[in-house]
Amino acid sequence: MMVKIKFEFLPNEILFQCLQYLNAPDLFHSFNQLNSHFSTLIRNIPLYLNFFQMKKSLFHHFCQIILLNSEIKQKILYLQLSNDGTHGQIEHFLSLFSLNTFFNLRSLSLIDLNENNIKQILSILPFLSNLYSFSFTGTNIETLEII
């Protein structure tokens, strides 16, 4: 005899383990308005935020979610921003949020970093006390200037 269990009735510990592997914008897009149980659950798990090659509309939508729910910033552990194929994404994100307000940020990855973003990043890096991984790619950037 096979027992069927609906996904939503799994114990929170199992749901927590499953959901934390999803990219935060996808997670919120899929589960935020599903029901109050999932809305609460996704606000209490560590978030991995990867904006690489993300549609501009989804990027803006998730930025609005963060702006309206500032506690979400405290759940973000990993952040990847990219100007590759998404012109100005890094600059736009930094105009909305100061990275030093992401107190639990442990990993920051910037793809196709440009000269306009260097000063912003240099001023913020020393204040990211929990950051243990920082990577970047870009054109005409002096590595020593960043370090």
pLDDT in tens, 48-74: 999 998 889 999 999 999 999 889 999
Q: What is the pLDDT of residue 143?
A: 54
Q: What residue ranges do the domains of the chain occupy?
A: 10-146
Burial environment of residue 147 by CB neighbours within 10 A (0 to 12, 13 to 18, 19 or more): exposed
- Give the Cβ contact number of residue 3 at 10 Å: 4
Ranges of H-type helices in the chain:
12-19, 24-31, 36-42, 56-68, 89-96, 115-124, 143-146
Residue numbers of the chain with a pLDDT score lower than 70: 139-147
Global pTM reads 0.85
Tell me how far apart the alpha carbons of residues 33 and 138 are, in angstroms, rounded to a whole number: 37
What pLDDT is recorded for position 144? 45
Q: Return the pLDDT at 115.
A: 79
For tokens 């960043």, name the residue. 146
Query: What pLDDT sits at residue 147?
Result: 52
The conformational region for residue 11 under phi > 0 = left, psi -120 to 50 = alpha, else beta, is beta
pLDDT for residue 62: 94
Q: What is the pLDDT of residue 132?
A: 93
Q: Enter the DSSP assignment of 22.
A: S
